[in-house]
Amino acid sequence: MLSYDSVQELIDGAEAAGCTIGALALRDQAEELCQDEAMLFHQMCLNFSVMEDAIRFGQREEQKSMSGLTGGEGYRMLRYSEGGGLSGAFLTRAMSRALAVAGCNASMGKIVAAPTAGSCGILPGCLVSLYEDRGVERDAVVQSMFTAGAFGMVIAKNASIAGAQGGCQAECGSAAGMAAAALVELMGGTPRQCGDACAIALANQMGLVCDPVAGLVEIPCIKRNVAGVMTAFSAADMALAGIRSHIPVDEVIDAMRAVGDALPAALKETAAGGLAATQTGRALREKVFGTAGEIQ
């Protein structure tokens, strides 16, 4: 049984079994939980359906966050995608989906934390796009969510998935790495290429701080989900092209932990630094919560 101590363990296990990391993770989790694989797969299907529902919720023109600071981003990007945009229709629709799920979260809607609420739009933005726009089979997409989950478990164990502990690299960075691995598997890549994709994605998000304006998971969090989607797709494409990560993925995860430990508290979800500490960031906090004296 896998212990999820390292990504290399996942890669070696999948190669030895002659299967994908997703299939290996599903089999292992069924054994550990003493449940039928079909039952676990059905539960993951339900999770995927929640992602689809969150996209539809967040792509409504009238979607607004509870604070009133954000809303309608998913709708506007969806309309913009009709003209293709600079990135093309496929990627701009993926951006819309990421914005929509993050907007759904800000509106207190139901989302799948993948791995966190703050990074909830990245995996759906990638996977739902392959299903709806590229015709990838639904079961294959659901299977890849076990791959993403396995990578996420290693990251959570050896680094962090919490912005309060590791900065936004631990949330959006982890989600981008998980999504990149899943994308590679869906496109027929090898387990080793999944590891390379995750490593590349994590390396390109490393050091990202967590600085939520007014302490809310809206600004800049919602738009960072889009950046995570783009990072995931580009990392997956590089890995599928045969481009390797010069630093092994497990070493990248270790470095991510060290960087997170080195970040000051002001840059780890306290809303005391970064964009939250700007003049406009402070003004937006007062708009929502009143002056500091009133908050106390």
Q: pLDDT tens, 203-212?
A: 999 999 999 9
- Residue 61 β-bridge partners: none
The candidate with the shortest Cα–Cα distance to 160, out of 210, 196, 108, is 210
Q: Indicate if the pLDDT at residue 292 is higher than 70.
A: no
Q: Dig out the tokens for 253 from the structure.
A: 């995860």
Domain residues of the chain, as ranges?
7-289
Q: Indicate if the pLDDT at residue 268 is higher than 50.
A: yes
DSSP H or E run through 192: helix 191-205
Q: pLDDT tens, 85-127?
A: 999 999 999 999 999 999 999 999 999 999 999 999 999 999 9
On average, the pLDDT of the chain sits at: 96
User: What pLDDT was estimated at residue 155?
Assistant: 98
Q: Indicate if the pLDDT at residue 182 is higher than 90.
A: yes
- DSSP string for residues in 214-262: GG-S-TTHHHHHHHHHHHHHHHHHHHHTTPPPSS-HHHHHHHHHHHHHH
Q: Report helix angle 172-186 to 138-158, nearest 10.
A: 140
DSSP H or E run through 52: helix 37-58
Q: Indicate if the pLDDT at residue 22 is higher than 90.
A: yes
User: What pLDDT was estimated at residue 293?
Assistant: 41
Q: pLDDT tens, 219-246?
A: 999 999 999 999 999 999 999 999 999 9
Residues 52-57, mean pLDDT to the nearest whole number: 98
Q: What proportion of the chain, given as a percentage, has pLDDT over 90?
A: 96
As a whole number of angstroms, the distance between CA 146 and CA 21 comes to: 8
User: What pLDDT was estimated at residue 2?
Assistant: 65
pLDDT band at 296 (very low <50, low <70, confident <90, very high): very low
Residues 17-25, mean pLDDT to the nearest whole number: 98
As a whole number of angstroms, the distance between CA 55 and CA 23 comes to: 27
Phi-psi region of 93 (alpha: psi -120 to 50; beta: other; left: phi over 0): alpha
How big is the chain, counted in residues? Answer: 296
Q: pLDDT tens, 248-257?
A: 999 999 999 9
Alpha carbon of 177 to those of 114, 167, 172, 174, 206: distances in Å?
11, 15, 9, 5, 11
Residues 142-164, mean pLDDT to the nearest whole number: 98
